[in-house]
Structure 1
């Protein structure tokens, strides 16, 4: 599995700063954080203590994992910057946040979330399609949360705006363990890392 320098394999997780309406979302975030730590991997995420963000970080920490959080100054109060992390980096802008998270990651996973989660997922997916990186991208489809989105993406393919190869870049699973196993397998052939400051 490809890593950079001596740091552990790192998974960037995008997720909501709210818990959402289904307790399964919270349980999935906790399970994912724990499993990342149990694999000896590092969690990279948005640095907040609230919502699913806080749940995935707390679970990874409780399992003895290493957690890097990256949060913009403007959101540190709103998202309640997590002070118990292995490392919390405060950056000036959202662009700096996304760049720092991407540069620290060997793979990307999206949990349920809102506008920010969707924007981050589609951005890193677009970067992969354009060849700026070759790290795997996973979608944890908890309780069918993303079913309608995935259906819409099929419509975009049928309408000629997305092709099957682009769709295949996104690995979708409902089970956290299965998704992490897919990510691990895909990471074996991931070799290229981009300077995300140039994107």
Structure 2
């Protein structure tokens, strides 16, 4: 693997996502990936409501850790400790799991824009920027996302219910020193809907 390149310019990106990428870039890295303990939540208090850690050390499970308050609102509860894939419809769990592993398996960052629709009827357009961590020096896949709503945010019901539809609009890999994945294929991408100016991404 090559040395880490300069911090990339990615054009339109929410301020939350950009500040998360900039902070991650400053952390000490081992083989391009920082150790989880190197991240100090107190260093980025304004970002904490938007952060969501996926712990991928258990095969086939994405255990939610450090779920920020803005993210938890969309679950209708604090989902810390639960398997994220339990909120995903069965037919797309395998693809969702593989996508979550990509930033760790091929060290890279990942920016996605997606629509999530829940059983409650709530639909949100989300920008998420995920960056890899290792649990310890010996390994252990983890990915932390800055996750923000863009466009109009509907009133949040008491419970969102299960994620019933996921539509990917954009995926952009971020070179952190190992290039970007060349063989990743998304099975469904739909045009991004027109939205009003961002609601949450600006600090």
User: Do these two structures clear the TM 0.5 threshold for a shared fold by scoring above it?
Assistant: no
Q: Which one has more relative contact order, counting CA pairs under 8 Å at least 6 apart?
A: 2
**Bigger share in helix:** 1
TM-score by length of 1: 0.29
TM-score by length of 2: 0.29
